Every structure is written in C-alpha cells, then in structure tokens.
C-alpha cells in the first residue's frame, strides 16, 4: 500500500480484515496528515461505518446540514440542504488530522506494518523502488494511494488556475455551526468557513496559483482588509492570523488516468482521478475506491478479474463527478464575468424550484449515480 492518506489507510484496514497481508509505505518517517478541513459526505460515512469508525467520526467532527453562500451584494447564490434527501443525511466537517488519527489508530491496533521514510520513486515487476535506491517486494498487488502527484502513475491532466489558502483557527461566534458558509465576489474571490469540530474552523480563501507571490509581497494587512470588506464577520478569525506562514496554499489538479490498473497495480483516489474541491468529493471518492477494491477481491478469485471489477464498479461514478466538476468549477473559481453573473441572476433562483433542491443535495452528498447501491453499501 503506497501512501498513508485516508485512502491508503482505509484500504489497508479493509484488506487486512479480509485476510490479506498488507504493508503500508509512507514518505514521512512518522505518518502525518497534510491540510486543514474537509467534508465527509454520506458516501464516505458509509465506508467508515463498515470500518466501525463512523461514530468516532461524528464525535470528532461537526455535523454539517447545509452549504450556504452569498455574493458581495448579499444575494443568496448557494443553499444546499442535506435534509432535502432525508432526515438522516448530513455531512461531517472534520480536520484532516482528526480523520487521520481515527484511521491510523485503527491501523496500528490491527498490527498492520507501516514503513516510514520511504519515498517511492517507481515500480517494476511487482516491486517498489525508493528514492534512496532500495527496493521492496515483490508483492502480489501494489495499491497506489499517493495522491494526484503519484510517482507510480504517468503524468496526465492539468493543474487548475485557482487554489486556496487554508488555515485551521479557533471557532468564533457569528457563523453557523452546522454549515459550510461562503462569500463570493464574482468568481475570482471566495472566502469560506467550515466547522470541523473540537472548537475549530477551517478558513479558506480562493486564490490564483500565479498570484501567491504577489499576495505575500502585498502583506497580510492588505489581504485582511480585502477579506473583511467581502465578509465583515471574518474579522475575529483574521485576528488569529499574525503570520502568513499560518496559511497553506493548496494546489488542485484535474486529472484522470486512462488505465487505472495494470497487472499487479491499481491506482485509487486522487492517484486515479482528481478534481477541484468545489463538490467536496475528493476523500469520499477515495474511500469508495478503497471499498470497491476490497469488495472486488472478495467477489473474484483471480487478481486481474478483481481489479477489472473494482474499476467497473467505480468508473461511471468517477466519470460523472469529473464531468460535474469541470462544469461547476468555473462558476466558483474563474476570472470571467459572465458565468458568475448567470450563477447569481438565473441559476441561483432556479435552484430553489423543485426538483432542484433535492438534486443539488444529492450532488453534494455524492450519491448521484447510485454508487453505494452498486457497492453493496447502505
């Protein structure tokens, strides 16, 4: 198992519980998470439920009942409510470190081997090659969970123009404790606040990748003034940021491997498919991939047949959400003026008309295309 992110850890647990001998390889000496907050959707919750971790997930994070956004003219342009699906539908905002701890603790308790300080450079004949020239293997199966810049996958796709500055801050009053809230100016400025449990909030600011240096040069005061002008309520959060190094810039890529598997190797999660975070599906899609692999290995005796089944169970859902990401990302992160105008004046009012509220909720929940039914998940 290459990579100790949520996908690698979950896949390792699932395969170990099915009786496979699993070894995790991680580039850090001590595995650790990278990033701030994320949302676990009903799809991801279903996989964590199978691992016996859903209750701990909810306790560690914050229940999210809706996504809500206004533009700089105080017009509501986004209002998605999980309750339009059913009373039991909700997301969970959680710090990446909290999710990592849940999975890593379970992996350690299961006695799954983890080898840290192993920077993977490539693979050959079922073995892993490391940057220091050493090798490990051969293995019956290599699972690539190294993310969108995996060294086990050929380069493909493209980096997106926009990324985001992220920080984890102490929660303050003035925000909905059960909502992802955002404010927009056109599509080139966006600020968001996500409750992530344990008295914390994930704070993010949309920014073009080629403007990061200019942002640093201008200084925090200039930036804070711009954020406060767009959303005055963020002032107490901004006061917690005296140093620009508190903010981490996250880059995003849109990529899909044409061949997500080959003999003895399968790519899962962002190593196979990655998008912008606008639909909040990254980790959730990866968890579904991990479940699909475990499910397929139970259903098929021959490894090649199992890998083919795992991909067939996920390919349509992946393609559907890749398409939706391509369509929706420019609406919220782009330099054009026409798309945000259409979003605010035409699309936003239409989303309040039946059946749009339920369709939008299903889209955000990750259940469009019925992925859980195909995977035997409740």
pLDDT at 18: 98
pTM: 0.96
pLDDT at 355: 94
The predicted-structure confidence for 147-194, as pLDDT tens digits, reads as follows: 999 999 999 999 999 999 999 999 999 999 999 999 999 999 999 999
Q: Would you call 42 exposed, middle or buried from its count of C-beta atoms within 10 A (0-12, 13-18, 19+)?
A: buried
Q: Which residues lie closer than 8 Å to 145 by C-beta, 6 or more apart? A: 1, 2, 3, 5, 7, 8, 11, 268, 269, 271, 286, 290
Average pLDDT score over residue span 341-364? 92
- Please count the CA atoms within 13 angstroms of the CA of 132 that sit on its side-chain side: 7
CB 301 within 8 A of CB 284: no
What angle (nearest 5°) sits at the alpha carbon of residue 26, between those of residues 20 and 27? 160
Q: Would you call 72 exposed, middle or buried from its count of C-beta atoms within 10 A (0-12, 13-18, 19+)?
A: middle
Structure tokens at 3: 């990579």
Indicate the angle between helix axes 6-17 and 96-110, nearest 10 degrees: 30
CB 12 within 8 A of CB 293: no
The predicted-structure confidence for 245-290, as pLDDT tens digits, reads as follows: 999 999 999 999 999 999 999 999 999 999 988 888 999 999 999 9
User: Mean pLDDT across the chain, nearest whole number?
Assistant: 95
The predicted-structure confidence for 294-335, as pLDDT tens digits, reads as follows: 999 999 999 999 999 999 999 999 999 999 999 999 999 999
Which stretches does DSSP call E strand in 43-90? 62-64, 66-71, 76-81
Beta partners for residue 142, in sequence order: 265
In angstroms, what is the C-alpha Rg of the chain? 21
Looking only at Cα atoms, what is the longest distance across the chain? 61
Average pLDDT score over residue span 52-77? 96
Cα-Cα-Cα-Cα dihedral sign, residues 316, 318, 319, 320: positive
pLDDT at 36: 79
pLDDT at 302: 98
**pLDDT beyond 90 at 34:** no
The CA distance from 147 to 144, in Å, is 8
């Amino acid at each position: 198992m290459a990579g100790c992110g949520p996908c690698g850890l979950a896949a390792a647990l699932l395969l170990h519980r099915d009786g496979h001998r699993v070894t995790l390889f991680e580039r850090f000496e001590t595995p650790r998470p990278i990033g701030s907050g994320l949302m676990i959707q009903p799809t991801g919750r279903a996989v964590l439920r199978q691992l016996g971790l859903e209750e701990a997930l909810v306790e560690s994070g914050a229940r999210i009942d809706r996504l809500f956004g206004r533009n700089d003219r105080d017009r509501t342009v986004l209002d998605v409510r999980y309750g339009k699906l059913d009373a039991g539908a909700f997301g969970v905002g959680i710090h990446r470190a909290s999710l990592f701890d849940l999975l890593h603790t379970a992996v350690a308790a299961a006695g799954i081997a983890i080898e840290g300080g192993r920077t993977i450079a490539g693979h050959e004949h079922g073995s892993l090659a490391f940057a220091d020239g050493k090798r490990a293997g051969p293995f019956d199966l290599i699972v690539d969970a190294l993310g969108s810049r995996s060294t086990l996958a050929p380069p493909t796709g493209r980096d997106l123009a926009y990324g985001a500055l992220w920080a984890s801050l102490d929660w303050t009053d003035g925000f909905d404790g059960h909502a992802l809230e955002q404010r927009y100016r056109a599509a080139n400025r966006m600020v968001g606040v996500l409750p992530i449990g344990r008295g914390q909030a994930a704070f993010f600011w949309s920014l073009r990748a080629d403007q990061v240096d200019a942002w640093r040069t201008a200084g925090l005061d200039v930036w804070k003034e711009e954020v406060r002008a767009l959303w005055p309520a963020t002032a107490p959060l901004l006061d917690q940021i005296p140093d620009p190094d508190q903010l981490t810039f996250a880059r995003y890529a849109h990529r899909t491997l044409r061949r997500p598997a080959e003999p003895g190797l399968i790519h899962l999660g962002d190593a196979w498919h990655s998008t912008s975070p606008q639909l909040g599906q990254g980790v959730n899609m990866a968890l579904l991939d991990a479940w699909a692999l475990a499910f397929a290995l139970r259903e098929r005796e021959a490894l090649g047949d199992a890998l083919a089944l795992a991909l067939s169970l996920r390919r349509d859902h992946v393609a559907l959400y890749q398409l939706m990401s391509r369509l929706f990302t420019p609406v919220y992160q782009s330099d054009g003026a026409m798309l945000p105008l259409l979003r605010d004046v035409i699309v936003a009012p239409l989303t309040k008309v039946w059946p749009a509220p339920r369709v939008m909720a299903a889209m955000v929940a990750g259940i469009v295309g019925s992925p859980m039914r195909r995977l035997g998940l409740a």
